[in-house]
Amino acid sequence: MIAEIGLAALWLAAALAVLQMVSGGFALRSAEGAPNPMAIYARPAAVVQAVLAVLAFLLLLYAFAITDLSIKLVATNSHSMKPMIYKLTGTWGNHEGSMLLWVGVLALSGGLLAAFEKRLPERTMGATLAVQGFVALGFYAFLLLSSNPFERLPVPAVEGVGLNPLLQDIGLAIHPPTLYAGYVGLSVAFSLAMGALLTKEVNPNFARVMRPWVLGAWVLLTFGITAGSYWAYYELGWGGWWFWDPVENASLMPWLAATALMHSVSVLAARDALRTWTIMLGVLAFSMSMLGTFLVRSGVLTSVHAFAVDPERGAFILGLLGLYIGGAFTIFALRAGAVAEGKRFSATSREGALVFNNVMLSAILAIVLLGTLYPLLTEAFDVRVSVGPPYFNPAAAIFAVPMFLVMAVGPLLRWKEDKPARIQFEMLLVAAVLIAVIALVSFFGNFPLLPLLGLGLAAALAVAAVLPLKGRKLTRVPVATWGMVLAHFGVAVSLFGMACEGAFTQERLAAVAPGGTEQVGDFAVTLQSVTPVAGPNWTAIEARLAVSQNGGEPVILAPQARNFWSPPQATSESALLTRWDGQLYAVIGNQAEDGRWQIRVWWKPFVTFIWYGGLLIALGGVLAIAGRVKVDVKRRKATAMGDARRADLEALGAAAPVPAE
């Protein structure tokens, strides 16, 4: 029965999405002050739809939990012998389940928006809900027509096929759902942008409504990318943390657009400038998340972590993409000219710096997009080319370096207009740190250009990040400003980790007999023994490595080479020794003919800073949301009190009490 109820819930939710779309559309036709009678259904439809879609997802989760092998999706992706946690995470470790999760989160955000957002004019809200319903409807159609997660098998399977072992990992439990939630947040921002564009209500009020969604999406994307990078780092077994793989790029591109959008929407909220630019970025950010979905699931590009792909699905997503993005860009081209230009500002102002960095972020986005899609373009002419890190790194750096420089001084500038001479001291300080660090590092060794620049920029950015606090009373600094400081400092921390990993990593690959010792950096690594071990659904050989730093007390590391039997696949489980100043990364490989074992050991100084930085950035975003919400709640309370007082005064002054609105 579970599957049937889930399917029914999905169909009902789809029907409600139609209602939401039509009813929201009627709001556009309502006259000023007189709401259209047909428009009142949009909000309740969104709320009920949220309940139904979430219910459908929970039912699928339950089917996975009890390993209901009569459901095809469970039979092809799960196994009764799997640990419970991976049975649950397996729910979204496949195409259909992850789409259902996506739809569930999408409906939930639509419901929240409909239930709690009262600041927008009804017409704009109606248009927003109509767009939101339209987007949701496309995904319901996709699920129900081509990727039904609840399909039954004619005869229940005896046993499930199992989940790809690479995905049986706690990193998978958090990484994809966070990314999906981030994508969904961008879809809400998209709906809001379209609603505002359609009703020409692109103003600070709209920006304040949009901001928490953008910030929330951005925090989730930041966190998701950070988690995904760490997962790839320890799971793929070679110590790489970013491969510029199409799937990774697919998650990076929405993040770049969201970063630009977040800054742009702040300018719109604070200064009523950058109106069309914000709308454009809103459309772009959502386009990038849709594009990412298309690239990952259609199989047009090859990648290490692609889903089981199907061109039919690809065609469906491409159709949705054409409908949403093509439609949005058409409306943009038709309407954006009619949006009045926002407030003006000079080049040397905080807006000026933000515009510069928005352009740089967009340029990096363009490079990543080009590099990712270029192989697709040449394949159309039957030429195969490879675009990889040696292209992406320098090409992105061309724009990233000026961006970091402007990012260092931007927050110090005043809004609207400023004189560079006013922040002379700060600029000199940042420049001095940059040059000193680069000079110092190049004095001690010969390092590649990009890590060297990275080290200098990281130091300069770390100093610059805290400069906005200079001369202010720390207890009175707004929470949102702390968020910015923390996020910018996080960028410096992450950049430092990347540069150190690039410049100072030490590698040791060797065949070692039990008892043998290898040296890497300050560490002596002794292979004590190699023994077979078994887990619930795998067997493995496990090495015991005694690692001693500078002759100190040895620590035991136990990397494994695992063989999963359902589905059969080998993975290498790296073992990590984390120190404050870096990580030792050990992997056990094959046995050589003479009985020695291949081991791979890396000492990666400060590599963990890459992900600490990512977490700091995300935390900065959380603080920014908290700060905005605090201010917002205060403002609402103040308005409510003001209204109450006015009503009281009126009641006292007037003979007959006015009925409350």
Partner 1 sequence: MIRVMLVLLAALMALPVAAQDSMPPAPYAYNQLEDPAMEAEAAALMATLRCLKCQSQSIADSDAPMAGDMRHQVRSRILAGESPAEIRAWLIARYGDYVSYEPTVSASTWPLFAVPVLVILIGAGVLLRRLGKRRSDAGDAA
Partner 2 sequence: MSQNRLWLWLPLALFAFFAGLAGYMLTQEKDQFVESTMIGEPLPEFALEPAFGGLPGAARSDFVGGKPRLLNIWASWCLPCIAEAPQLEALKAQGVEIIGIAIRDRPEDVANFLGQYGNPYTRIGSDRISEVQLAIGSSGVPETFVIDAKGVIRYQHIGDIREDDVPVLLAELEKAQ
* C-alpha to C-alpha distance for 218 and 192, rounded to whole angstroms: 16
314 touches, from partner 1, partner 2, none (C-beta below 5 to 8 Å by class): partner 2
- CA 310 centroid distance within chain: 25
Q: Taking CB under 8 A as the rule, does residue 360 contact partner 1?
A: yes
Q: Taking CB under 8 A as the rule, does residue 395 contact partner 1?
A: yes
* C-alpha to C-alpha distance for 544 and 526, rounded to whole angstroms: 8
Could you give the angle at which helices 275-298 and 350-379 cross, rounded to 10 degrees? 30
Q: Which of 568, 580, 653, 654 binds partner 1 (CB under 8 A)?
A: 568
For residue 639, what is the enclosing H or E element?
helix 609-653
Q: Taking CB under 8 A as the rule, does residue 563 contact partner 1?
A: no
Shorter beta-carbon distance to partner 2: residue 32 or 341:
341
Shorter beta-carbon distance to partner 1: residue 118 or 384:
384
Region from 193-201, 205-213, 239-247, 574-582 binding partner 1, contact rule CB under 8 A: 239-247
Question: Considering just the CA atoms, what is the radius of gyration of the chain in Å?
Answer: 27
* C-alpha to C-alpha distance for 184 and 433, rounded to whole angstroms: 40
Q: Are 27 and 125 in contact (CB under 8 A)?
A: yes
- The CA-atom distances, in angstroms, between 100 and each of 83, 93, 95, 141, 179 are 22, 11, 9, 11, 14
Q: How far is the CB of 188 from partner 1 (least distance, A)?
A: 27
363 touches, from partner 1, partner 2, none (C-beta below 5 to 8 Å by class): partner 1
Q: Taking CB under 8 A as the rule, does residue 367 contact partner 1?
A: yes
Contacts of 254 (CB under 8 A, 6+ apart): 182, 183, 186, 221, 285, 288, 289, 292
Q: Are 602 and 585 in contact (CB under 8 A)?
A: yes
- CA 477 centroid distance within chain: 28
Region from 1-9, 167-175, 430-438, 587-595 binding partner 1, contact rule CB under 8 A: 587-595
- CA 447 centroid distance within chain: 32
Q: Taking CB under 8 A as the rule, does residue 589 contact partner 2?
A: no
Shorter beta-carbon distance to partner 2: residue 295 or 486:
295
Structure tokens belonging to residue 458 = 């990281």
Structure tokens belonging to residue 40 = 């009142």
Q: Taking CB under 8 A as the rule, does residue 522 contact partner 1?
A: no
Q: How far is the CB of 313 from partner 1 (least distance, A)?
A: 8
Taken in order 414, 415, 421, 426, the sign of the CA dihedral is: positive
Helix (H, G, I), strand (E, B) or coil at 569: strand
- Binders of partner 2 among residues 286 to 325 (CB under 8 A) are 287, 291, 294, 298-300, 302, 311, 314-315, 318, 321-322, 325
Q: Taking CB under 8 A as the rule, does residue 593 contact partner 1?
A: yes
Q: Which of 203, 481, 549, 598 binds partner 1 (CB under 8 A)?
A: 598
Region from 9-17, 132-140, 284-292, 416-424 binding partner 2, contact rule CB under 8 A: 284-292
Q: How far is the CB of 346 from partner 1 (least distance, A)?
A: 5
Q: Taking CB under 8 A as the rule, does residue 332 contact partner 2?
A: yes
Q: Taking CB under 8 A as the rule, does residue 238 contact partner 1?
A: yes
Structure tokens belonging to residue 95 = 């195409």
Q: Taking CB under 8 A as the rule, does residue 507 contact partner 1?
A: yes
| Beta partners for residue 588, in sequence order | 599
Shorter beta-carbon distance to partner 1: residue 318 or 429:
318
Shorter beta-carbon distance to partner 1: residue 83 or 240:
240
Q: What is the 3-state secondary structure (H, E, C) of 438-463?
A: HHHHHHHCCCCHHHHHHHHHHHHHHH
Shorter beta-carbon distance to partner 1: residue 306 or 615:
306
Shorter beta-carbon distance to partner 2: residue 11 or 329:
329
* C-alpha to C-alpha distance for 661 and 654, rounded to whole angstroms: 16
- Binders of partner 2 among residues 347 to 386 (CB under 8 A) are 373, 376-377, 379-380, 384
* C-alpha to C-alpha distance for 304 and 282, rounded to whole angstroms: 30
Q: How far is the CB of 241 from partner 1 (least distance, A)?
A: 11
Region from 133-141, 208-216, 218-226, 354-362 binding partner 1, contact rule CB under 8 A: 354-362
Q: Taking CB under 8 A as the rule, does residue 539 contact partner 1?
A: no
Alpha helix (H) residue ranges in 445-564: 449-466, 479-504
Q: Are 600 and 509 in contact (CB under 8 A)?
A: yes
Q: Which of 180, 255, 286, 345 binds partner 1 (CB under 8 A)?
A: 345
Number of residues that bind partner 1 (CB under 8 A): 75
Q: Which of 8, 336, 541, 546 binds partner 2 (CB under 8 A)?
A: 336
Helix (H, G, I), strand (E, B) or coil at 587: strand
> x/- string (CB under 8 A) for partner 1, residues 45-84?
---------------------------x---x--------
Region from 315-323, 470-478, 502-510, 636-644 binding partner 1, contact rule CB under 8 A: 502-510
Q: Taking CB under 8 A as the rule, does residue 356 contact partner 1?
A: yes
Region from 131-139, 252-260, 364-372, 492-500 binding partner 1, contact rule CB under 8 A: 364-372
How many CB atoms are located within 10 Å of the residue 403 CB?
22
Q: Are 272 and 342 in contact (CB under 8 A)?
A: yes
How many CB atoms are located within 10 Å of the residue 434 CB?
23
- Residues that bind partner 2 in the complex, under the rule CB under 8 A: 280, 283-284, 287, 291, 294, 298-300, 302, 311, 314-315, 318, 321-322, 325-326, 329-330, 332-333, 336-337, 373, 376-377, 379-380, 384
